[in-house]
Amino acid sequence: MLKFLVRRVLGLVFVIIGVTFITYAMGYLAPGQDPIKALLGQHYTAIAYHNLQVQYGLDKPWEIQYLNFLWNLLHGNFGLSYRFPGQSVNDIILPSIGVSVELGLSAFLLAILIGIPAGVAAALKRGKWIDTTLMGSMLFLYSIPAFVFIPFYQVLMDILVAHNLPYLPVSGWEGSISYKIAPVVILALTNTGYFARITRTVMLEVMGQDFVRTARSKGVAERSVIYIHAFRNAMLPLLSVIGPSLAYLVSGAFVVEDLFNIPGVGYQGINAVFNRDWPVLQATVVILATAVVVMNLITDILYSIVDPRIRVS
Amino acid sequence: MDIEKKSESMLEHEILSSPLEMDPDILAAEQNPSTPLRDSLRRFAQDKRALISLAIVLLMILTSIILPPIYQQIGPVLTLRHGFLHAKPSQYHTPWFINNESVDTGPSSLYWLGTNYLGQDMLARILAGIQVSMIVAVLVVGLLDVGLGVLFGVLAGYFGGVIDTVLARFTDLIFAFPGLLFAVLITGIFGQKAIEIAGNNGMLILVSFTLGLTVWPQMARYVRGQTMQLKEQQFIEAARTTGSTSLQIIIRHILPNIASLVVVAATLDISGAVINEGVLSLLGLGVQPPGSSLGLMINESITNIAQYPYETLLPAAVLAVLVLCFSFIGDGMRDAFDPRTKD
């Protein structure tokens, strides 16, 4: 177990260093106006320029800049914004992490609560109309991207407003829970479809195995066969798919955050692109990539606890 | 003994000439000996959902190619800008022509699907958008996903060693960038430059390149796994003992055997490529105005969705149909080529 852990953590460190290097290199190679000049604008003087350059650490050669970048990262410091003078990237990005986690986690739970039971139901009624209908609609949810659902949702809300019917807000996040319903549901749709399809496949595979037949033939009640024998064994392969999805939900919410004006990490990242605020974009990328890698590691560890055979291979 | 023998042979004869033999299916099968490929194609041909989807996609692509030149011939000469500009349909039925005297109109005989907030032709923009989606799909999936994925997957699976290690590390790295993050990073930073160099074509190439870069490792992983399995099989060993070189074995034995896997995975990746191009354009990181893309059309019109819902819903619906059809085709292909995965 220890050996397995050490190997996985080393791999993680490699990946994170790789990610920071790519991100750093992109910011360094970014074409366009010198960020310090852009920051100074009309107040440009040679002395002010030099002072700021030193303050931002941009007077040093690139390898030193990168090491500084890493060193600051280790201390949880993402540097200074190129767009907003005097503001640190932390001020901009840290509040958004909570928002993204809340959005992603809620969508994740919703997708699990709907997707997995739907998949189990479809597997149990295999070939029946319930199965066909469920899986057809799940493929629909899985295939259609969020940014197609959002305009339709907005139009629906406009219609409700026009007819004096109860409606949900189409933009914003802070405030009452009514703001959160639509973004969470729409973000969850794709994964609901995905979880349902995977659950069905895995369940069918498990249900066809010998130990299920044994359980049935020795007279175990069908309910126990399904929930104790089959489902518990189906959990394992499900875990390996569902774990990483959480990170993807937290980080893949660019579109939902953008179209609903939710100040999450993705939203800040997109804004940073238009502000040419590379340090903020770099912070976004490093935070999200780290989240993914760490989630994958946690999944692997959980998996190896549940199924010790994994550690060997 | 003799009788027994005779009866046996008679029995045999009877079985051979039994009505079963005349069954048209079997006759057809004898004329066309069943091969795995034929079986798969037959299974695919029985999948109605996939076939209808394929027909819709082909129809959309053909329309996007054939209709614009025809559409640009139909319509009167417009007198615009207080008589200073005489515009022919070959001008105003293009995706980029701005007719500010005819803004946000619904469908009419002049503009078949109406105009957007700038007075650009919706039909022309949608058709151009479909073309953009297809170009990206071909570049991303056809070139990078299949090209790089198969090349590195086969090399890593067949030879192992350094290539395998490098591939594994690179794959880990790319997978750490969730979803579109890598594409957002690259297009966000280098988009402006790409537009300066080659206009919207430059942007399309950059978008395709970055999207391709994020999908091919997955393909390489599939191919690698399959190649490693094949390599252990006896017919490969037989080929090696008869003196085939590695290159010959890869070309003659490995590639044909992984072809169906690659085709299925690539078809499934097309929806992803189409969606991702849409997302990037929607976020303002893809195709830029006056170019057209389905995602960009949503981006341009969504702020006015309350007044003109049609202008957003139309491109969104076209994109949804396109994506859904590719999903159904991919699903059908997977069931047809790899029946084991079909429950």
| CATH code of the domain made up of A92-305 | 1.10.3720.10
Q: State mean pLDDT over A44-54.
A: 79
User: For position B151, what pLDDT does the model report?
Assistant: 93
Please report residues of A whose CB lies closer than 8 A to that of B184.
Answer: 254, 269-270, 273
Measured CA to CA, the distance from residue A124 to residue A203 in angstroms comes to 8
CA distance A186 to A195: 15
Please state the rounded mean pLDDT for residues B93-117.
Answer: 88
Residues written for chain A: 313
Name every chain A residue with its beta carbon within 8 A of the beta carbon of B278.
145, 147
Confirm if A36 and A56 have CB atoms less than 8 A apart: yes
CB spacing of A293 vs B190 below 8 angstroms: no
- Give which of B189, B298, B328 to mutate to test A binding, by max A Cβ within 10 Å: B189
Exposed/middle/buried for B143, CB within 10 Å: 0-12, 13-18, 19+?
Answer: middle
Q: What is the pLDDT of residues A119-130, one digit of tens each?
A: 999 998 888 899
Please, are residues B314 and B126 in contact by the beta-carbon 8 Å criterion? yes
Grade residue B339 by pLDDT with cuts at 50, 70 and 90. low
Q: What percent of chain A has pLDDT over 70?
A: 97
pLDDT digits (tens, 9 = 90+) for B124-138: 999 999 999 999 998
How far, in Å, CA of B281 to CA of B55, rounded?
27
Task: Return the residue of B nearest to A152 by Cα.
Answer: B313
ipTM over 0.90: no
Contact A261, A139 (CB under 8 A): no
Q: So what's the pLDDT on residue B24?
A: 58
- The beta-carbon neighbor of A145 closest among B275, B312, B341 is B275
- The mean predicted confidence, pLDDT, of chain A is 85
**Digit-coded pLDDT (tens) for A193-251:** 999 989 998 898 888 888 888 888 888 888 888 888 888 888 878 887 787 787 777 76
Residue B3 is predicted with a pLDDT of: 46
Cα separation, A220 vs A90, in Å, equals 57
Q: Both tokens of residue A43?
A: 């107040």
Which pLDDT score, from 0 to 100, does residue B44 have?
87
DSSP bridge partners of B121: B115
CATH 1.10.3720.10 domain extents, chain A:
92-305
User: Sign of the CA dihedral B196, B319, B176, B330?
Assistant: negative
Which one of B179, B185, B327 has the shortest CB-CB distance to A143?
B327
Tokens of B64: 């996007």
How many Cα atoms within 13 Å fall on the side-chain side of residue A262?
A: 30
Average pLDDT over residues A11-31: 85
Segment B255-259 mean pLDDT = 89
- Hey, are the CB atoms on B324 and A288 less than 8 Å from each other? no
To the nearest whole percent, how much of chain B has pLDDT over 70?
89
Q: Compute the distance between CA of residue B207 and CA of residue B192 in angstroms, rounded to an integer.
A: 12
Tokens of A206: 């498990």
Q: Tell whether the model's pLDDT for residue A53 goes beyond 80.
A: no
Confidence of residue A115 (pLDDT cuts 50, 70, 90): very high
How many Å is the Cα radius of gyration of chain A? Answer: 24
Closest CA to B75 of B111, B121, B114, B115: B111
Condensed to tens digits (0 to 9), the pLDDT of residues A241-280 reads: 787 787 777 766 888 998 899 999 989 988 888 888 888 8
Window from A3-12, A149-158, A196-205, B149-158 with minimum mean pLDDT? A3-12
Identity at A56, one-letter amino acid code: Y
pLDDT band, residue A27 (cuts 50/70/90): confident
| Comparison of pLDDT for A311 and B75, the residue scoring more | B75
Which has the minimum average pLDDT: A19-28, A155-164, B272-281?
Answer: A19-28
Q: What is the pTM of this model?
A: 0.84
Check residue B63 and give its pLDDT: 95
- B316, A152: Cβ pair inside 8 Å? yes
Q: Where are the domains of chain B?
A: 122-337
Residue B235 tokens read as: 């017919």
pLDDT at residue number A251: 66
Q: Which of B255, B341, B339 is nearest to B44 (CA)?
A: B339
pLDDT value of position B1 = 42
Closest residue by Cα to residue B124 from B70, B78, B73, B68: B68
Residues forming beta bridges with residue A86, ordered by sequence position: none
What's the pLDDT score for residue A7?
83
The residues with which B78 forms a beta bridge, in sequence order, are B87
B225 close to A (CB below 8 A):
no
Nearest to B319 by CA among A193, A262, A151, A191: A151
Residue to mutate among B283, B327, B328, with most A CBs inside 10 A, is B283
Residue type, A89: V
Q: Does domain B122-337 have CATH number 1.10.3720.10?
A: yes
Q: Which residues pair with A80 in a beta bridge?
A: A88
d(CA A98, CA A65): 29
> Is the confidence at residue B123, as pLDDT, over 90?
yes
State how far the Cα of B182 lies from the Cα of B130, in Å rounded to an integer.
24
Band of pLDDT at residue B23, cut at 50, 70 and 90: low
